[in-house]
């Protein structure tokens, strides 16, 4: 047996992609795996083939024996036997594309409960970890059934959050939407915004927003005094960035402004992106006052 094997998380880091992407590549047969106990591992040779470069570094995994996870008991009921098919899709309203891809990847593999919990913990999905623990405890179901319930509950949570955000925009004039944001979020906000509330923090306006260019304020062009006046009055901020175990990574120019007026801000609606753009400058924010105001979108 080979000793040089990567976990899914290590492979994702090496290839600079998300763990859900790695799972999709595995399900498509583009990455061959081996199963050690209850864990999936990817041979170093497979990672090298995928990269089209010779594999090999010091970040390999040495395999050790693992205790078998406690499997949930399943009621002895007749159920449909679903053969493996690329056409079986789970459509969960309210989920973002990242969550939907993660769900599809997790459900498309013979995965154990222990690995699911480990994955959620490693990816810092604390809320999902708590929700799944509660679902498993309350229901006598298989892990796949529990997963589907988990993501339905997450979808309901997301829809309720977005509804509350739109109501906040209606009742609060002191809200700022900071671009870039994905189209599925921005176009929901558009009917609820007033002039002067949309600020672009990137160097260019995204292509899908070109027709709304006149409504967008460029952070590098607006008069600094007017910009600070806007942030001084801001009670609601909508931004994107990336969650990490240490806090939140957000664009440095935005971080500097928010830091000055954090005491005035009541809510920070936060859209999590899977990876940071290489051509932009981000800062890590771990201030407890800031993190306490985060509402996940």
Q: What is the distance, to the nearest Å, from the Cα of residue 223 to the centroid of all Cα atoms in its chain?
A: 34
Q: Compute the mean pLDDT over every residue in the chain, rounded to the nearest whole number.
A: 75
Hey, how many other C-beta atoms are within 10 angstroms of the C-beta on 58?
A: 4
Residue 105: per-residue pLDDT: 65
How does residue 95 score in pLDDT terms, banded at 50, 70 and 90? Answer: low
Residue 104: per-residue pLDDT: 64
Hey, how many other C-beta atoms are within 10 angstroms of the C-beta on 268?
A: 22
- pLDDT per residue over 141-177, tens digit each? 887 788 888 878 878 888 888 888 888 888 888 888 8
Residue in 210, 153, 152 with CA at minimum distance from that of residue 186: 210
Say if CB 38 and CB 75 are below 8 A apart.
no
**230-243 average pLDDT score:** 88
Q: How far apart are CA 291 and CA 297, in angstroms?
A: 14
Q: How far apart are CA 175 and CA 230, in angstroms?
A: 9
Q: Which residues, at least 6 apart from 163, have a Cβ–Cβ distance to it below 8 Å?
A: none
The better pLDDT of the pair 280, 123 is held by 280
Residue with token string 């830091």:
259
How does residue 90 score in pLDDT terms, banded at 50, 70 and 90? Answer: low
Cross-strand pairs, 41: 34
Hey, how many other C-beta atoms are within 10 angstroms of the C-beta on 128?
A: 22
Residue 215: per-residue pLDDT: 82
The better pLDDT of the pair 98, 113 is held by 113
Written as six digits, the tokens of 248 are 């939140």
**29-51 average pLDDT score:** 77
Q: Which residues, at least 6 apart from 51, have a Cβ–Cβ distance to it below 8 Å?
A: 14, 15
- pLDDT per residue over 52-85, tens digit each? 544 334 333 333 334 444 444 444 444 444 444 4
- pLDDT per residue over 11-36, tens digit each? 878 887 777 778 777 777 778 888 77
Q: pLDDT at residue 113 above 50?
A: yes
Sign of the CA dihedral 215, 218, 224, 227? positive
**180-189 average pLDDT score:** 78
- pLDDT per residue over 196-222, tens digit each? 888 888 777 777 777 777 788 888 888
- pLDDT per residue over 264-274, tens digit each? 889 999 988 87
């Amino acid at each position: 047996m080979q000793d040089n094997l990567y976990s899914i998380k290590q492979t994702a880091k090496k290839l600079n992609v998300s763990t859900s992407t790695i799972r999709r590549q595995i399900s498509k047969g583009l990455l061959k795996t081996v199963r050690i106990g209850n864990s999936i591992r990817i041979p170093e040779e497979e990672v090298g083939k995928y990269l089209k470069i010779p594999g090999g570094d010091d970040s390999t995994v040495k395999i050790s024996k693992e205790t078998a996870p406690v499997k949930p008991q399943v009621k002895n009921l007749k159920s449909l036997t679903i053969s493996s098919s690329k056409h079986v899709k789970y459509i969960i309203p309210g989920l973002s594309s990242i969550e939907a891809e993660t769900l599809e990847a997790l459900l498309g593999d013979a995965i154990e409960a222990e690995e699911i919990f480990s994955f959620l913990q490693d990816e810092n999905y604390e809320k999902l970890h708590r929700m799944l623990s509660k679902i498993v405890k309350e229901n006598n179901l298989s892990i796949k059934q529990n997963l589907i319930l988990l993501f339905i509950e997450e979808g309901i949570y997301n829809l309720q959050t977005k509804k509350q955000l739109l109501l906040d925009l209606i009742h609060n004039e002191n809200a700022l939407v900071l671009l870039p944001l994905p189209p599925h979020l921005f176009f929901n906000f558009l009917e609820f915004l007033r002039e002067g509330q949309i600020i672009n923090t990137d160097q260019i306006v995204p292509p899908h927003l070109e027709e709304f260019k006149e409504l967008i304020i460029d952070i590098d062009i607006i008069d600094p005094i007017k910009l600070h006046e806007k942030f001084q009055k801001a009670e609601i901020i909508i931004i994107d960035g990336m969650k990490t175990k240490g806090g939140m990574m957000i664009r440095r120019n935005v971080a500097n402004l928010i830091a000055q007026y954090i005491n005035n801000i009541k809510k920070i609606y936060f859209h999590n992106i899977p990876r940071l753009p290489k051509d932009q400058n981000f800062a890590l924010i771990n201030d407890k006052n800031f993190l306490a105001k985060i509402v996940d979108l």
